[in-house]
Amino acid sequence: MKIVVAPNAFKESLTALEAANFIEEGIKRVFPECEVVKVPMADGGDGTAAALVGATGGRILAEEVNGPLGEKVKADYGLLGDGETAVVEMAAASGLRLIPSKKRNPLITTTYGTGELIKACLGQGAKKVIVGIGGSATVDGGAGMAQALGARLLDRDGKQIPFGGGGLGQLDHIDVSGMDERINQIECLVASDVDNPLTGPSGAAAVYGPQKGATQEEVVQLDRNLSHYADVIRRDLGINVKDVPGAGAAGGLGAGLLAFFGAQLKSGIEIVIQASGLKEKLQGADLIITGEGKIDSQTAHGKAVAGVAKLAKRERVPVVAVGGSLTEDARAVHPIGVDALFSTIPRPVSLDRAMERAGPFLADAVEEIMRLWVCCRKS
């Protein structure tokens, strides 16, 4: 028997690889001789670098960069097994998790550190850079990222505008003549799981600004500034980023990568599936088990579990998904290819207890799934 194990991370409790290991443990309790192929997944957010590095035999590197408030942070990035593809998680340098809730302020937070990570990738000789853009603390449209790589975003007096989404309102013109020339020799892919435009009711500021600390008045200001920023990009760089699906991802970093890198915006899970060789690893499989911390109706829209299920359905491999929690609308994943849903929680427990015991609970749940599998095979 061959079972492919391809979970996403269980946020704040298990990495994708840790989840895969616990799922394997549950399988082996019932089928000790089973061939288990572990392929950790990600969809552009936390864990994308680890998933791709692990799948390709690459390595994790680290760089000291500027965090979202300008403080120094140590941020990891990955060099994949081909030695030519690098992967950056913007959350590692510019992520919300780096800022205490009381200090969150997208008017001043910057993606400068993300630009420094990309520069480090260029220094490693990367010819392709994959940028995962989930979990950002910023709404600066990728302006800080561009500044770190040599772009000059200038006000009317010819001075660099301040960091953060608040500074975009002072932007008068953009000078890219001093940008790192190596940018022109690389391919840039943006791994995201959202398709928000840069501005408007479903744009970067309106949808994500409040969770990054913006008041309603600041949301209006940030949206206005992003619109102005897009107008200057169109005038000075000849690129329209305002209404492109995905341009609003990560506080508009998607727009910045489009404007300054000519990047391609792609589904994060599709990038990971391709890079990990999941399709090839599914050949001859009897079952695939996937999962993540929370499965709900949004899981069906671009998340890791959805990508895995859609591929497995095309390859005619049954899919079981396991979640730390299942919402009332979780059944929305059935039409996209998930054949059965299970929760890891065996009884009513507190959230803290569920997080603390996430691994053992996952292994126990998979053991019971395997015992059910035995019953089905006998019938």
Q: Is 341 helix (H, G, I), strand (E, B) or coil?
A: strand
CA angle 216, 218, 223 (to 5 degrees): 100
Beta bridge partners of 189: 130, 264
Cα(322)–Cα(34) distance, integer angstroms: 19
Are 173 and 265 in the same domain? yes
Cα(371)–Cα(67) distance, integer angstroms: 48
Are 283 and 327 in the same domain? yes
**Quick check: 114 pLDDT over 80?**
yes
Are 227 and 261 in the same domain? yes
pLDDT of residue 216: 95
Which CATH number goes with the domain that contains 316? Answer: 3.40.50.10350
Are 79 and 146 in the same domain? yes
Give the structural domain span for 61. Answer: 48-269
Taking the model in full, what pTM does it have?
0.84
- Per-residue pLDDT tens digits for 250-300: 999 999 999 999 999 888 888 889 888 899 999 999 999 999 999 988 788
257 and 18 Cβ atoms separated by less than 8 Å:
no
- Per-residue pLDDT tens digits for 177-188: 999 999 989 999
Which pair of structure tokens corresponds to residue 8?
Answer: 């996403």
**Quick check: 46 pLDDT over 80?**
no
Are 109 and 254 in the same domain? yes
Domain boundary among 269, 295, 323: 269
Domain boundary among 269, 303, 335: 269
Nearest to 133 by CA among 302, 275, 277: 302
pLDDT of residue 377: 76
Are 89 and 20 in the same domain? no
Residues in contact with 275: Cβ distance below 8 Å, sequence separation at least 6, in sequence order: 52, 55, 56, 80, 85, 130
DSSP single-letter state for residue 84 = S
Mean pLDDT within 104-120? 97
pLDDT of residue 48: 87
From residue 30, alpha-carbon distances to 40, 310, 360, 366, 372 in Å are: 22, 27, 15, 10, 10
From residue 75, alpha-carbon distances to 113, 117, 216 in Å are: 9, 8, 31
Nearest to 155 by CA among 63, 260, 96, 228: 228
Are 209 and 79 in the same domain? yes
Are 256 and 154 in the same domain? yes
**Quick check: 379 pLDDT over 80?**
no
Mean pLDDT within 346-354? 89
Which CATH number goes with the domain that contains 163? Answer: 3.90.1510.10
- Per-residue pLDDT tens digits for 77-88: 999 999 999 999
Are 152 and 31 in the same domain? no
Are 115 and 231 in the same domain? yes
Are 240 and 359 in the same domain? no
Cα(218)–Cα(221) distance, integer angstroms: 5
Cα(272)–Cα(307) distance, integer angstroms: 10
At position 216, the amino acid (one-letter code) is: Q
139 and 205 Cβ atoms separated by less than 8 Å:
yes
Cα(179)–Cα(368) distance, integer angstroms: 56
Are 64 and 197 in the same domain? yes
Beta bridge partners of 153: 174
Report CA torsion sign: 320, 322, 323, 328.
positive
Domain boundary among 242, 269, 296: 269
227 and 251 Cβ atoms separated by less than 8 Å:
no
Q: Which residue has the tokens 């616990």?
A: 22
Mean pLDDT within 325-330? 91
Q: Is 241 helix (H, G, I), strand (E, B) or coil?
A: coil
Cα(322)–Cα(156) distance, integer angstroms: 55
CB atoms within 10 A of CB 155: 15
Number of domains in the chain: 2
